[in-house]
């Protein structure tokens, strides 16, 4: 029986009940719903709104129901409409009339808002743990490949040689900011809406701060209307997950570029690749591609929830039932992708010396020639123009920078001496970097030590 139908003469049509039932989604929040109910009952007893005896009976039964749902003894049926109804109906079956005291000074509006916040609180913590695990896997690859040289890119064109370790640390830093966003979001998630009731509060002498404290929350949402009608914290959470997914997509994109024959830099373990039903030679990076594809799910959840909320008048509206679909989808997708991304990183072999010979004298070292002239007091724009002429000449002759005769260099600028040939080793270019946070071995080592201390403390 629905919790609200006493003023109706007819029961809800089965098709309407099926259409409106949300238990397939909010059933996943049964633990949170029971946690909230336990705190609420304890508060009612403390305030002497219900007796200690009734409180103890309800609390014992709620814990039993948790176990029944966990073990599958109590099956959640769509006819029960939502998890709140399912638990209250089971409570009534177990303890009779005493169960009817549970919902005193509470509405499903503040109840579901609380369930969602408790769920988000737990999932923020779990998501951060998965991010840290991925960061650790990246750092292990950084240490394995700390001396590997790769071309760095802008516009997907070779730009300058860098340490591969420096490149991977960029992802560690991205993920660190993802954690910071989740930490900040946690502050807004961890406020209790319980006690806001339907939206206007209660005439009963409840203690909202006490129930919030029991739940380990950092106080209450002060405005009862905002408490039940806002999904701002949820939107922020899904937005943060969307940024996580964007970063995973960028990492995935590079992983399968590096796995191509053209790059020949990385190789996935066979346990994280698939073949072709037609072409027997294929080894496909499907799991990196799937991560990239699943980004759309999380972006869709963000836009979906924003669309649900964009024109709703205060306070609660049933449209908001759709929020759980978007929340659960975003959380489950992001966590699955974080887990697989970590496993991919752990099971990828990078060819340490792949670019060593290829980058010797490569045009990506042209910037070092510009800096060479600047250090000899040439104006930067003039130095840039001079080196540009050499680059054009090398392209015309199909040669590398170190293959150009010193006489040709001197024809364009007398500032060039034989010492320029030292610049055409990629590691020299890397080691010559002076700025903090650069790709020089010294700076990369500082970054490695920083992340080891931070992630493995």
Please check whether residue 186 is in contact with residue 121, taking contact to mean a CB–CB distance below 8 angstroms.
yes
pLDDT, tens digit, 9 for 90 and up, residues 214-262: 999 999 999 999 999 999 999 999 999 999 999 999 999 999 899 999 9
pLDDT, tens digit, 9 for 90 and up, residues 429-440: 999 999 999 999
* pLDDT at position 371: 94
Co-location of 289 and 233 in the same domain? yes
Specify which residues 268 forms β-bridges with. Answer: 348
Active-site annotation holder among 20, 51, 264, 276? 276
212: domain CATH number is 1.20.200.10
Token output for 59:
């609390």
Please check whether residue 204 is in contact with residue 284, taking contact to mean a CB–CB distance below 8 angstroms.
no
Please check whether residue 427 is in contact with residue 149, taking contact to mean a CB–CB distance below 8 angstroms.
yes
- Which domain-ending residue is among 65, 82, 104? 104
d(CA 358, CA 389): 22
Structural domains counted in the chain: 3
Token output for 186:
């946690």
d(CA 150, CA 163): 6
Question: Nearest to residue 228, comparing CAs of 195, 193, 202?
Answer: 193
Look at residue 355 and tell me if it is in a domain: no
Question: Nearest to residue 126, comparing CAs of 339, 416, 424, 341?
Answer: 339
* pLDDT at position 25: 81
Range from 226-230, 359-363, 413-417 carrying the lowest mean pLDDT:
413-417
- Mean pLDDT on 124-145: 98
Co-location of 160 and 195 in the same domain? yes
- Mean pLDDT on 76-89: 84
d(CA 244, CA 260): 25
Active-site annotation holder among 6, 15, 155, 277? 155
Please check whether residue 80 is in contact with residue 89, taking contact to mean a CB–CB distance below 8 angstroms.
yes
d(CA 124, CA 241): 10
* pLDDT at position 72: 92
Co-location of 202 and 234 in the same domain? yes
Q: CA dist 337 to 250, 270, 333, Å? A: 13, 19, 6
Q: Report the percentage of the chain scoring pLDDT > 90.
A: 83
d(CA 422, CA 40): 74
Q: Which residue would you say has higher pLDDT here, 456 or 81?
A: 456
CA 73 to chain centre: 34
Co-location of 345 and 217 in the same domain? yes
Respond yes or no: is residue 84 known to be catalytic: no
Look at residue 178 and tell me if it is in a domain: yes
- Mean pLDDT on 394-405: 93
Look at residue 357 and tell me if it is in a domain: no
Respond yes or no: is residue 276 known to be catalytic: yes
Instruction: Examine the pLDDT at 1 and tell me if it is beyond 60.
Output: no
Look at residue 386 and tell me if it is in a domain: yes
Look at residue 358 and tell me if it is in a domain: no
pLDDT, tens digit, 9 for 90 and up, residues 302-327: 999 999 999 999 999 898 888 999 99
Please check whether residue 99 is in contact with residue 61, taking contact to mean a CB–CB distance below 8 angstroms.
yes
Instruction: Examine the pLDDT at 2 and tell me if it is beyond 70.
Output: no
Q: Which domain holds residue 419?
A: 363-455
Range from 104-113, 320-329, 406-415 carrying the lowest mean pLDDT:
406-415
- Which domain-ending residue is among 66, 82, 104? 104
- Using DSSP's 3-state secondary structure scheme, residue 159 falls into strand
* pLDDT at position 272: 87
Q: Which residue would you say has higher pLDDT here, 306 or 7?
A: 306
Look at residue 50 and tell me if it is in a domain: yes
Q: CA dist 143 to 154, 344, 386, 441, 445, Å? A: 25, 17, 39, 12, 9
Look at residue 331 and tell me if it is in a domain: yes
* pLDDT at position 382: 94
pLDDT, tens digit, 9 for 90 and up, residues 12-68: 777 887 777 788 888 899 999 999 999 999 999 999 999 999 999 999 999 999 999
pLDDT, tens digit, 9 for 90 and up, residues 59-81: 999 999 999 999 999 988 877 77
Q: How many CA atoms lie within 13 A of 327 on its CB side?
A: 29
Co-location of 315 and 441 in the same domain? no
Co-location of 167 and 295 in the same domain? yes
Co-location of 324 and 380 in the same domain? no
408: domain CATH number is 1.10.40.30
* pLDDT at position 35: 97
When the pLDDT of each residue in the chain is averaged and rounded to a whole number, the result is: 93
Q: Exposure pattern of 278-290 as b/e (b: 16+ CB <10 Å)?
A: eeeeeeebebbee
Look at residue 356 and tell me if it is in a domain: no
Token output for 64:
């039993």
């Amino acid at each position: 029986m629905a919790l609200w139908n006493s003023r109706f003469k007819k029961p809800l049509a089965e098709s309407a009940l099926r259409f409106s039932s949300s238990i397939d989604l909010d059933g996943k929040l049964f633990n949170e719903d029971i946690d909230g109910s336990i705190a609420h009952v304890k508060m009612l007893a403390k305030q002497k709104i219900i007796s200690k005896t009734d409180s103890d009976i309800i609390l014992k039964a709620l814990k039993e129901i948790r176990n029944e749902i966990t073990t599958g003894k109590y099956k959640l049926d769509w006819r029960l409409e939502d998890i709140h109804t399912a638990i209250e109906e089971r409570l009534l079956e177990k303890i009779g009339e005493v169960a009817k005291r549970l919902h005193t000074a509470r509405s499903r509006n503040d109840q579901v808002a609380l369930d969602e916040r408790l769920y988000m609180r737990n999932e923020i913590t779990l998501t951060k743990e998965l991010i840290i695990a991925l960061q650790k896997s990246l750092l292990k690859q950084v240490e394995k490949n700390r001396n590997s040289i790769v071309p760095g890119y802008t516009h997907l064109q070779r730009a300058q040689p860098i340490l591969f370790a420096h490149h991977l640390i960029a992802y560690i830093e991205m993920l660190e900011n993802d954690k910071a966003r989740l930490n900040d979001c946690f502050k807004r998630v961890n406020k209790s809406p319980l006690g806001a009731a339907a939206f206007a509060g209660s005439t009963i002498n409840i203690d909202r701060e006490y129930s919030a404290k029991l739940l380990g929350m950092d106080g209450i949402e002060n405005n009862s209307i905002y408490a039940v009608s806002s999904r701002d914290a949820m939107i922020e959470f899904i937005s943060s997950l969307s940024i996580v997914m964007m970063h995973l997509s960028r990492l995935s994109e590079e992983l399968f570029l590096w796995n191509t024959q053209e790059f020949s830099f990385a190789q996935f373990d066979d346990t994280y690749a698939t073949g072709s039903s037609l072409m027997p030679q294929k080894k496909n990076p499907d799991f990196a591609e799937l991560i990239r594809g699943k980004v759309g799910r999380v972006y869709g959840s963000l836009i979906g929830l924003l669309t649900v909320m964009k024109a709703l008048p205060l306070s609660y509206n049933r449209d908001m039932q759709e929020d759980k679909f978007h929340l659960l989808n975003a959380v489950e997708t992001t966590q699955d992708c974080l887990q697989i991304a970590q496993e991919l990183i752990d099971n990828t072999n990078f060819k340490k010396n792949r670019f060593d010979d290829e980058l010797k004298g490569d045009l990506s070292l042209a910037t070092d020639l510009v800096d060479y002239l600047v250090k000899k007091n040439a104006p930067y724009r003039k130095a840039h123009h001079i080196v540009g002429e050499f680059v054009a000449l090398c392209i015309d002759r199909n040669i590398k920078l170190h293959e150009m005769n010193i006489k040709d260099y001197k024809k364009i600028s007398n500032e060039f001496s034989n010492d320029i040939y030292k610049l055409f080793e990629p590691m020299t270019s890397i080691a010559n970097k002076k700025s903090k946070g650069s790709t020089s071995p010294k700076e990369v080592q500082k970054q490695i030590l920083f992340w080891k201390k931070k992630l493995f403390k």
